[in-house]
Amino acid sequence: MQTKWYQPASWRTQDARNGRTNSAPKQTTPATAESAPVSRPSSASATNFVASEGEHLPFEEIYRVAGIKGPRLGYSISKVIEMLHSEHIRNLPAETRRASLLMALEAAGVQVDEVLQDATMRQRAINSYEAIQRKHVEEYEARKSQENCAIQAEMERVTAQYLARINGSLDEVAHAKDNFRKWQAKKQNEAQRIAEAVALCVTHGGTQQTESISSFRELANGEPSFANR
């Protein structure tokens, strides 16, 4: 079964569209045929790379899922990289490193085209994987954007409901205070009438009577109104 992201056919189409063939010469010897991918991964391996968000396959796993087998005698491009970083030649001039590498490949009976073919297959494998992962991330971002829009709309709806409740409570309090102010106005008028009647019921001149009248006048003034707050 072909993997979900491994698309060799698309590579060939792209090469044909650009008017070129595979950059690495095709080998007709049995050794080259051995280095070419000849197997396809299982369906389980093909779906593991999207098991969880933000996690990606190691390069070696990508190569394995893409069906890339180790070349003859193990001289893959990874082996060449390892050789070039060896402490024996890594600090040498570029031309010396190249000569040393070619000499080692020749001594091992490995053709340069074999290494180039392996490098081409591996580069195409990781490019294909990258393209699929980019699409996966973009789709994931689009889904999350839709979810965020829905959350935002829900938040605005709930916020509007609570604001309406708050405004309703404020209106009720304002209505209650307005009713109380009206009652206070009536109360002050009633208290004034009582004080005037009391004043007419007593004779002036006595200290006790004067204090009684003052007390009634204080009661008539009462507590300050909400209108003054």
**Number of domains composing the chain:** 1
At 100, list the tokens: 């040393």
Q: Are 108 and 73 in contact (CB under 8 A)?
A: yes
- Let me know if residue 92 belongs to a domain: yes
Q: Is residue 116 part of a domain?
A: yes
In a domain, 66, yes or no: yes
Mean pLDDT, range 204-208, rounded to an integer: 59
Distance CA 198, CA 209 (A): 10
Q: What is the mean pLDDT of residues 158-174?
A: 97
Both structure tokens of 117: 């073919």
pTM: 0.52
pLDDT tens column, 107-140: 878 888 888 888 899 899 999 999 999 999 999 9
Residue 186: half-sphere exposure toward Cβ, Cα within 13 Å: 6
CA dihedral of 195, 201, 205, 206, whole degrees rounded to 10: -90
Q: Tell me the percentage of the chain whose pLDDT exceeds 90.
A: 29
Q: Is residue 62 part of a domain?
A: yes
Residue 31 has pLDDT above 70, yes or no: no
Q: How confident is the model at residue 156 (pLDDT cuts 50, 70, 90)?
A: very high
**Residue 112 belongs to domain spanning:** 8-156
Name the nearest CA neighbour of 111 among 120, 102, 122: 102
- Reading phi first (left if > 0) and then psi (alpha if -120 to 50, else beta), residue 25 is in beta
